[in-house]
Amino acid sequence: MHSTFARAHCGRPVRPVGSNNASLHIGEYTSHLSKELKALHPEIPWSKVAGLRHRLVHDYEGTNWHIVIRVIFENLPAFIKQVRTLLPENSS
């Protein structure tokens, strides 16, 4: 099936594969982080990231692509910025 979002915005049926794959990977990697690390950083929306992955994997056809695109463009940059602060080269 082709997404309604792509059809509405591109004028033809297109699957939003790039954004979907990135979201899947980020959500999967988030699920492998320790509970301790997540507890130390409750300001980072770990469960929302994992939840997006779960939705894309298990209910792809029922996914509201308007929401996914909004999350990618409005929320993902802030999430990346938060996660980058946790990297060893960014800690003092």
DSSP codes, the chain: ---HHHHHHHSS----HHHHHHHHHHHHHHHTS-HHHHHH-TTS-HHHHHHHHHHHHH-GGG--HHHHHHIIIIIHHHHHHHHHTTSGGG--
- Which residue in 2, 9, 15, 53 is the catalytic one? 53
Note if 53 is an active site residue. Answer: yes
Which residue in 58, 66, 70, 84 is the catalytic one? 58
Residue 32 known to be catalytic = no
Residues catalogued as catalytic: 53, 58
